[in-house]
A and B are shown apart, each in its own frame.
Chain A
Amino acid sequence: MEILVCVKRVPDTAENEFELNSAGNDLDRDDLVYSVNEWDNYAIEEAIQIVDKVGGSVTVITVGDDESEEVLRREMAMGANNGILLSDDAFEGSDGLGIAAILKAETQKGNYDLILSGAQADEGAGQVGGMLAAMLDMPYASLVNKIEVGDGKIIVGREIEGGNQEMNEIDLPCVLSIQTGINEPRYVGIRGIRKVAKVDIPVKGTSDLGIDADSVGEAGAKTKRVDYFVPDMGDGAEMLEGSTDEIIEKLIEKLKANGGF
């Protein structure tokens, strides 16, 4: 089975305290720690496990700048066979539809049976997988937490409300967005990353992909981000301060008053 996995380099929510820049229109990105989107690691792991069972290869792809190459290498260190970087100044400012259109152009050059993405990334939209599927006229399932590979078809479980699982049969080729928890992504050590440090990763832009530069990027985007801001959520929590002993004393009083004991 030929599997394509779409990944993204994102600011790591576990490693950063997000601050706005001085102009207040963007994040202060100077010291941000970036990593591969958490959901994507589950997608790569699932792809590798499928190929281990039924044969084939895993190709990992991203739309991004030069620095996105590091996430491709990380996923190749996990076991993906090939990497492709789609990069062009014209891609900057693309909305979800733009990213999906760029991915579509490269996807059509290959012969993939299965295309995976993470269920969502830093923007929390969960949009690109479903858009790509519709553009390719392939069936789609989101929030997938189980895959059983069959002949020409696969069985997928979707995570739905209340911890229940919705089972579907879906024709190949198809696009699936992968939910966390579907597997346990393998650990990647420094040695693994060194092994793939020299592997050639092709970089493709608008002309390689046959994309009209005006149809993607900021020029083609129907949605644009105007600014970032920290929402005013009313009063928020009453913050308990002082020494740990003082905090605990105050907390216990509050717990007593509110039914905590």
Chain B
Amino acid sequence: MTQIFAYIPFINGVAADVALEYPSAAKKIDEGASLTAVVTGSGADLDKIADEMTSIYSEVIKIDHADLAYPNGEVVRKALVSILPADAIFLTAHDTFGMDLAPGLCVKMDSAYAADVVDFEGIDGTTLKAVRQELGGAVSTHMTIDISSGAVMTVRPGAFTPVEGGSANGSVVDKSGDAGDLSAKRKFLEIVVAEVGDVDITKSDVLVSIGRGIEDEDNIEIAQELAEAMKAVVSCSRPIVDAKWLEKSRQVGTSGQTVKPKVYMAMGISGSFQHMGGVKGNPFIVAVNKNPKAPIFQVADVGIVEDILDFIPELTETINDL
């Protein structure tokens, strides 16, 4: 029987949403597989999470150790190598922790590796079929994964349907004693909390959000004028912050702010999942992009194929004349 293990990330005593999504992913891998949650950490928070997971998973493995109090990928990897069976199928979220942990884990487990999986299409013999995206979401691919010696895979948060917890009535298995030597050559020091900017983009009902399509720092002015006309605030995607054209506090995305506006104007934004991961609450999304194949058009409500440098000033002028 296929044995699947799912790593449950949590912060400040709250499990990540992906905890409810792994069971759907596991079913798509193999309907008959066993699914075990794995939680690592230290103390009361860990016990609370392990307990909560028993409502979703029939078995929950807990590893409690002072060195695991903060999820350092190098340390967690050592603990996992000690407790996982050699041919385990191991799932973790494709988040900043999973990206840190998983590539090295597959080497130490001598397993196959697949990253950022968005769908599974079942096992045939020892071959698992999965779906991924490439080129910033512009194309998808089917891939085959030889799982004969196990597999380590990261799954995209939000890609699998969350299940209703509550009925699993599972049990916690304490494997703290099996974690082995957890000494590592990387030591966690501290979290530096993001700086608060001049404007709080999370408080605005309408966001005029700009991406690469703005092309030049001088052009940001046209977005500000549109935002003014709409009584909105200017936010942006990652490349704008990388170029230092706007403050980090204006960045929407998994590595920036999570926003819940009523209207999201995506101007010259391609729409990578890291960016859209920061847009919550099902807003009305308007996408303007000169590339008709931009992935943003798949998630937007309204799409317009135009160059934003021409389109935005005309839109602003019309709104101002209303």
Residues of A within 8 A of B (CB): 11, 13-14, 17-18, 20, 27, 95-97, 100, 119, 122-131, 133-135, 138-143, 155, 157-171, 174, 180-181, 184, 222-231, 233-234, 236-240, 244-245, 247-249, 251-252, 254-255, 258-261
Interface pick from B38-46, B57-65, B112-120, B166-174: B112-120
**Chain B interface (Cβ < 8 Å from any Cβ of A):** 72-74, 77, 95-97, 99-100, 102-108, 111-116, 129, 132-136, 138-146, 149, 184-194, 205-206, 212, 230-231, 238-239, 241-244, 248-249, 251, 254-258, 262-263, 270, 284-287, 291-293, 297-306, 310-311, 314-315, 318-319, 322
Given A181-B238, A224-B144, A227-B142: A140 and B186 interface contact (C-beta under 8 Å): yes
Cross-chain contact of B187 among A143, A169, A184 (Cβ < 8 A): A169
**Interchain CB contact under 8 A, A237 and B297:** yes
CA distance A159 to B192 in the complex (A): 10
Report whether B238 and A139 are in contact in the complex, using a CB–CB cutoff of 8 Å.
no
Central interface residue in B134, B194, B230, B251, by most chain A CB within 10 Å: B134
B273 CB, min distance to chain A CBs, angstroms: 9
Complex A-B, nearest 9 residue pairs according to Cβ-Cβ distance, in ascending order:
A130-B103, A237-B303, A163-B194, A134-B104, A134-B107, A222-B112, A125-B115, A258-B284, A139-B185
Measured CB to CB, the closest approach of chain B to A144, in angstroms, equals 10
CB distance from B122 to the nearest CB of A (A): 14
A157–B103 Cα distance when bound, in Å, is 19
Q: A165-B192, A259-B205 are in contact. List 13 more A-B contacts (CB 8 A).
A: A129-B103, A130-B103, A140-B74, A142-B96, A142-B99, A162-B257, A168-B189, A223-B145, A225-B141, A237-B301, A239-B305, A260-B262, A260-B263
Chain B nearest CB from A112 CB (Å) reads 15
Q: List 12 A-B contacts (CB under 8 A).
A: A14-B212, A18-B135, A96-B103, A127-B113, A166-B192, A169-B187, A226-B142, A239-B305, A244-B314, A251-B302, A251-B304, A252-B319
B contacts with A: majority SS: mixed
A108 to chain B, nearest CB (A): 15
Chain B residues with Cβ below 8 Å from A140 are 73-74, 100, 104, 186
Chain A nearest CB from B18 CB (Å) reads 12
How far is B99's CA from A167's CA once the two chains are assembled, in angstroms? 16
Among B185, B187, B194, B230, chain A packs the most CB atoms within 10 A around the CB of B185
Closest to A256 in B: B322
Q: Decide: B293 and A167 in contact? CB cutoff 8 A.
A: no
Q: Which of A122, A135, A161, A224 has the most CB of B within 10 A?
A: A161
Inter-chain contacts of B286 with A (CB < 8 A): 251, 254-255, 260
- Tell me the minimal C-beta distance from A224 to chain B in angstroms: 5
Contact flag A167-B116 (CB < 8 Å), given A142-B99, A230-B140, A244-B306:
no
**Neighbouring A residues of B299 by C-beta, 8 Å:** 233, 236-237
Asked if A258 and B135 sit within 8 Å, CB to CB, the answer is no
* Given known contacts A167-B189, A226-B142, A260-B284, A134 and B301 CB-to-CB distance under 8 angstroms: no
- Does the CB pair B102–A237 fall under 8 Å? no
